[in-house]
Amino acid sequence: MKKLLLLSLIGLFISCGNQKCETTSNGFTSTEGEQVTMGSQESVDIFLKIDNAWKERDYDAIKSLVSDDAQFINADGESFIGGQAFADYIEKDYQETVVQNGQDWAWTINYAFAVKPTNADRGEYVNARFTGNYIAEEWYQIKDGKLVSWHQTRRTPTTTTN
């Protein structure tokens, strides 16, 4: 019986190996025919390195993880380009949050996951939510191990009463 089961499994692997496997989609983009699939842990790991460098205000690490022509748009609609500009934005945020307003420089990552388009060489996108002094939703576009774009929205936490 064990031999029959083993032969069946080997036969299944061989037969599947000769077929082209179709990628399962879980969404679409505005580009005709392009779908969205789950991304990789590698992109999430790069996002985590960026987040750690942000918390530590390690601007050398930030610049090493950011593409020279990376584009950023923060929650206020300000846009800037490149690793140095991103480091400057983080420092400005730190000065306003901690030095001027006396708030904590701390947040919790509530989730992060990666998705990728199927018909484009645009890399992967990591979506993350943070809670702290505010709630932030952010998208990190990761390509070739570097951050190439970042978009942020923020809102103030609200409490609900029953």
Q: In this structure, is residue 111 part of a structural domain? A: yes
Cβ burial of 118 (10 Å; 0-12, 13-18, 19+) is: middle
Distance from C-alpha of 5 to C-alpha of 126, rounded to nearest angstrom: 41
Give the Cα separation of 126 and 146 in Å (integer): 12
Domain that includes residue 103, residue range: 40-155
State the Cα–Cα distance between residues 102 and 26, nearest whole angstrom. 43
User: What does the pLDDT look like over 47-68, one tens digit per residue?
Assistant: 999 999 999 999 999 999 999 9
Q: Who's near 35: CB < 8 A, 6+ residues apart?
A: 23, 25, 27, 28, 29, 117, 118, 119
Question: What's the CA gap between 140 and 152, in Å, rounded?
Answer: 9
* Residues 149 and 79: beta-carbon distance below 8 Å: no
Is residue 66 situated within a structural domain?
A: yes
Q: Which positions of the chain have pLDDT values less than 50? A: 2, 4-19
pLDDT at residue 89 in the model: 97
Residue 15 pLDDT: 44
Alpha helical stretches, state H, the chain: 2-17, 41-56, 59-65, 83-94
Asked whether 111 and 129 are in contact (CB, 8 A), the reply is: yes
In a domain, 48, yes or no: yes
Look at the chain and report how many structural domains it folds into. Answer: 1
Does residue 6 lie in a domain region?
A: no
Residue 90, pLDDT score:
97
Strands lying side by side in the sheet with 108-117:
27-28, 35-38, 108-117, 124-131, 135-143, 146-155, 66-73, 79-81
Q: Is residue 98 part of a domain?
A: yes
Residue 26 lies in a domain: no
Give the pLDDT confidence score for residue 22 in this predicted structure.
60
Q: Assess if residue 1 is contained within a domain.
A: no
Residue 162 lies in a domain: no
**CATH code of 58's domain:** 3.10.450.50
